[in-house]
C-alpha cells in the first residue's frame, strides 16, 4: 500500500514514525511519502517537505504568513494528487491538515486522522467537518471519543502514543552514563524545555533563564528541539555554564529534579515520567487575546485537562514572570509535601491515560479499514 502522511511539528514527526514502524510490520509492501521530519525519514519516508520550514503558531503569526501557508497548501495538494496514495494519514497539525482533509475528501482514497483537533476546546464546527472529510479518526485522550462520536464522527480511542515511547524505570547506572556523556556535574538538575519552534523558544527561553539564575546549587540543562542546532541556543547562553542536550529528552526528564516546560506534548510526557514541573506559556499579545475569546477550556496542560484539575501549576502570559516561576520552582524543589502530592497525582494520571499500544492500534485500524474497503470493491 502507498501511504501519504502529513505531520507538521516535532511531536507529530515522532508519533507518525511509530505508526510507520507498525504499518511496516503489518504491510510488507508499504511505501511512504509525505511531510514530516527526520524521524519519519529514518523510517523510510520520501520527504516532500520538512516541518521545520513550514511551522507557524499563533493567530497573529498565521495571518502574517498567510501567503506562505496558502502556497504550502497548494503545493501539498499537488504532491498528494501526483502520488495517488491508497491512504492519506493526517497527524495533528489541525490548521493545515483540516484544509488538506477537505481537499482529500473528494479524492478516491480514504482519509485517516491521528491525534484529533481539539474541537472540544474551540472550533466545535471542526467536529462536523471531520464527519464529512475523514473516514476514521483516532483519538488519544479518554474524553475525546464520546465527544466526536456525538457529532457522528467515526472514532476509535487508541490511548496516548507517549506510552509507546516512554521507559518509566530508572537505573542508577543509566543516570551516571547520562551525566558522564553530557559532561554534567554530580548535582541536581533543573531542566528547561522552552519549545520546539524557533519562534516560541525565542519568547520563552530568556525568561526561563532569568528565573533559574538564582539556583546556584543546581545545574541548568536545556532540552534541545529536534531539527535545531546548538548554535541557535548559544546566543542566549553567552557567559553561562549551561548545557544543551539533543535527542535525550526522556532521559533528561527522568533525571531532573524539576523543570520549566513550554505548554505542549512535553508537559504530559514529563508528567508520565514523574518530573515535577511548571507549565509555562507566553505568546504574541494579539494571538493570546484572540485565543482567550475563542478557547473554552479551564487549563492548557494536557495532564490537567485529562484529570480535570490543576495537578500541575500553569503560568500563562502575564502570570509567567520570573517571580512566579521561582515561587513554583521553590515548592517543587524544596517542599516535600508538595512533591509527594504531585507524585500521587501523576500515578492517578497514568491510570487514567491507560497502557501502551496506541501506534499499533492506529496501524491495525488503518489496515483493517483498507481491507474492508477492498472487500467491498470500493
- Asked if the domains at 2-159+357-375 and 169-353 fall in one CATH topology, the answer is yes
The partner residues of 222 in beta bridges, in order of sequence, read 192, 244
**Cell 477537505 belongs to which residue?**
102
pLDDT given at position 300: 87
pLDDT given at position 150: 95
Alpha-helical (H) ranges within the chain are 10-26, 38-42, 59-64, 66-83, 94-104, 125-133, 144-150, 162-165, 172-181, 198-212, 230-234, 249-255, 265-272, 285-294, 302-307, 322-334, 336-353, 358-375
What's the predicted TM-score (pTM) here? 0.76
What the block records as the C-alpha cell of 44 is: 523510510
Query: For the chain, what are the domain ranges?
Result: 2-159+357-375, 169-353
In CATH, 2-159+357-375 is 3.40.50.2000: yes
**Cell 501557508 belongs to which residue?**
69
Q: Which of 212, 219, 202, 193 is nearest to 322 (CA)?
A: 212
Q: Is 183 exposed, middle or buried (0-12, 13-18, 19+ CB in 10 A)?
A: exposed
What the block records as the C-alpha cell of 26 is: 503489518
Cα 253 to Cα 204: distance, rounded to the nearest angstrom: 18
pLDDT given at position 66: 64
SS3 15: helix
What the block records as the C-alpha cell of 277 is: 514541573
306: CB partners within 8 A, 6+ apart: 141, 142, 143, 268, 349, 352, 353
Cα 254 to Cα 261: distance, rounded to the nearest angstrom: 14
Cα 58 to Cα 290: distance, rounded to the nearest angstrom: 9
pLDDT given at position 163: 87
The partner residues of 142 in beta bridges, in order of sequence, read none
pLDDT given at position 68: 77
pLDDT given at position 287: 53
pLDDT given at position 162: 87
- For 169-353, the fitting CATH number among 3.90.79.10, 3.60.10.10, 3.40.50.2000, 3.40.50.11270 is 3.40.50.2000
pLDDT given at position 285: 63
pLDDT given at position 286: 58
pLDDT given at position 87: 97
Per-residue pLDDT of the chain (378 residues), as tens digits, is 999 999 998 889 999 999 999 999 999 999 999 999 999 999 999 999 998 876 655 544 555 556 677 888 999 999 999 999 999 999 999 989 999 999 999 999 999 999 998 887 667 888 999 999 999 999 998 889 999 999 999 999 999 998 887 876 667 889 999 999 999 999 999 999 999 888 889 999 999 999 999 999 999 999 999 888 999 999 999 989 999 999 999 999 999 999 999 998 899 999 999 999 999 998 766 555 545 554 556 888 999 999 989 999 999 988 999 999 999 999 999 999 999 999 999 999 998 888 889 999 999 999 999 999 765 555
pLDDT given at position 10: 85
Report the relative pairing of strands 136-139 and 111-114 from DSSP bridges.
parallel
Amino acid at each position: 500500500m502507498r501511504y501519504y502522511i502529513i505531520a507538521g511539528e516535532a511531536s507529530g514527526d515522532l508519533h507518525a514514525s511509530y505508526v510507520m514502524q507498525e504499518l511496516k510490520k503489518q504491510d510488507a509492501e508499504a511505501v511512504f511519502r509525505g511531510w514530516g521530519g527526520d524521524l519519519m525519514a529514518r523510517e523510510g519516508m520520501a520527504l516532500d517537505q520538512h516541518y521545520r520550514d513550514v511551522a507557524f503558531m499563533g493567530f497573529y503569526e498565521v495571518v502574517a504568513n498567510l501567503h506562505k501557508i496558502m502556497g504550502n497548501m497548494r503545493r501539498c495538494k499537488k504532491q498528494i494528487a501526483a502520488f495517488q496514495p491508497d491512504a492519506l494519514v493526517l497527524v495533528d497539525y489541525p490548521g493545515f491538515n483540516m484544509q488538506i482533509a477537505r481537499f482529500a475528501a473528494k479524492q478516491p482514497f480514504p482519509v485517516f486522522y491521528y491525534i484529533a483537533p481539539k474541537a472540544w476546546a474551540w472550533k466545535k464546527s471542526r467536529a462536523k467537518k471531520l464527519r464529512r472529510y475523514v473516514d476514521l479518526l483516532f483519538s488519544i485522550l479518554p474524553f475525546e471519543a464520546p465527544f466526536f462520536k456525538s457529532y457522528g464522527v467515526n472514532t476509535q480511542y487508541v490511548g496516548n502514543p507517549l506510552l509507546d515511547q516512554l521507559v518509566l524505570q530508572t537505573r542508577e547506572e543509566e543516570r551516571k552514563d547520562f551525566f558522564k556523556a553530557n559532561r554534567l556535574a554530580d548535582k541536581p538538575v533543573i531542566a528547561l524545555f522552552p519549545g520546539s519552534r524557533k519562534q516560541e523558544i525565542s519568547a520563552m527561553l530568556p525568561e526561563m533563564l532569568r528565573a533559574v539564575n538564582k539556583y546556584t546549587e543546581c545545574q541548568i540543562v536545556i532540552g534541545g528541539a529536534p531539527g535545531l542546532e546548538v548554535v541557535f541556543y548559544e546566543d542566549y547562553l553567552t557567559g553561562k555554564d549551561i548545557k544543551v542536550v539533543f535527542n535525550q529528552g526522556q532521559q533528561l526528564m527522568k533525571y531532573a529534579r524539576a523543570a520549566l516546560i513550554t505548554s505542549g506534548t512535553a508537559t504530559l510526557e514529563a508528567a508520565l515520567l514523574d518530573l515535577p514541573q511548571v507549565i509555562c506559556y507566553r505568546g504574541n499579545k494579539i494571538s493570546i487575546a484572540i485565543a482567550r475569546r475563542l478557547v473554552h477550556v479551564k487549563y492548557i496542560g494536557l495532564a490537567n485537562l485529562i484529570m480535570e484539575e490543576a495537578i500541575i501549576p500553569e503560568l500563562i502570559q502575564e502570570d509567567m514572570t520570573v517571580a512566579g516561576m521561582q515561587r513554583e520552582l521553590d515548592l517543587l524543589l524544596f517542599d516535600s509535601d508538595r512533591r509527594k502530592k504531585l507524585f500521587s497525582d501523576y500515578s492517578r494520571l497514568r491510570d487514567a491515560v491507560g497502557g501502551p499500544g496506541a501506534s499499533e492500534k492506529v496501524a491495525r485500524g488503518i489496515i483493517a479499514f483498507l481491507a474492508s474497503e477492498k472487500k467491498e470493491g470500493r
